[in-house]
Structure 1
Amino acid sequence: MKDKTPPSQPIEVTVISGEGLLINRKPPTKNTVSVTVKTGPFLSCSTGVDPDGRSFPSWNERIVIDLPEQARFITVEARSGTGLIGSAAIPLTDFCGGCLPDGYLSFVSYRLRDATGEKNGILNLSIRVKGGGQSSGCAASFSKPSMGVPGAEAKPCAGVVTGIPVSYPY
């Protein structure tokens, strides 16, 4: 009997630190903030809690988790106890594919949004696709990023739109 699980490859996410994490506009209490990394609906792994970081926790904790072939992003969530502080969806194109070689270590920082969509802190991470010296499926699926929005005649999911940062006065 064949195994029907979709192919996947491991990624290594190091949760480095957080900045400005708040609960109801107040710093979380000690020993409560952890981070969960999700690569699919049933694939997740969490860090331990930072013993004294409060709103500026530091974990420096490595998580190795499978990345399903059909995944297009990973999700990181900062939690305090059972409550969500904030989350961010990280597109795979930010750390694999295109010009990045297999095994490249990417350092990324993401703004978290709380349940109402308000800004609520930043998570600092490093991410590496553990390709094992082979061409990773991640790099193969995102080998040709395109600029702009695909036209009506383009197939859905035919390419990846690359964003260009623009400053915005708040």
Structure 2
Amino acid sequence: MKRALEITLISAESIRLNKKPVKNAFVAVRAEPGHECSTKPALDKGTNPQWNEKLIVDLPLHVAFITLEVKCKSSSGSYKVVGGATVPVSDFAGALGTPEGYVHFLSYRLRDSNGVRTDGIINISAKMPVPAPALACKCDVPRSEVGVPVGHQRKMTAAGGLVVGVPVW
């Protein structure tokens, strides 16, 4: 079973690769191995790229972390990782006291592939969208009444003396 994560990659600050500003930086988001989505490359060249791009990521229930990687295209055409951040799902999902659909604005320090802090911070917003209510069936197939007998059956009501429970979301 999966749920949707709405994540907006806002910007990065002070990112460098080998102490040089990066060009065409983009962010790859991965919730589970083999399933990655990414932003378009930032138009500005330098250390503070901005994307302001929203991505919808399928987030399986068993996933505890998502991975954000800032990458850039090198002159040879290959992609290099500038830095990454491992984001706990608990930072934006199931937080106590926050309603469903609440937007969390978060910033994370980037780290290299060895886990050592690098120059750079990534700024994101994340929210778990409120699930849409289930739509009522619009078909002409007769449904049986479901309910529990209530009180004495002296008075017959339209429902036949049954109380029908309807869940409220």
Query: With structure 2 as the length reference, what TM-score do the two structures score?
Result: 0.71
Distance 1:12 1:99 in 2: 19
What does 1:9-20 align with in structure 2 at a 5 Å threshold?
9-20=3-14
- Unaligned runs of 5+ residues in structure 2 are 74-78, 134-169
Aligned partner of 2:121 in structure 1 is 122
Aligned partner of 2:139 in structure 1 is none
Contact residue 109 and residue 117 of structure 2 kept, 8 A? no
The SS at the match of 1:99 is coil
The SS at the match of 1:132 is coil
Task: Work out whether 1:89 is the aligned partner of 2:86.
Answer: yes
What does 1:1-170 align with in structure 2 at a 5 Å threshold?
7-29=1-23, 32-81=24-73, 82-97=79-94, 98-116=96-114, 117-132=116-131
Q: Which aligned runs of 4 or more in structure 1 are off by greater than 4 angstroms?
A: none
Identity of aligned residues (%): 37
- Which structure's residues are more often strand, by fraction? 2
Residue deviations 1:111-143 (CA, integer Å, cap 9, x gap): 001224232300000001123157xxxxxxxxx
CA RMSD of aligned residues (A): 1.4
- Unaligned runs of 5+ residues in structure 1 are 1-6, 135-170
Distance 2:97 2:82 in 1: 34
Contact residue 13 and residue 126 of structure 1 kept, 8 A? yes
Q: How many residues align?
A: 126
Contact residue 38 and residue 45 of structure 1 kept, 8 A? yes
Query: With structure 1 as the length reference, what TM-score do the two structures score?
Result: 0.70
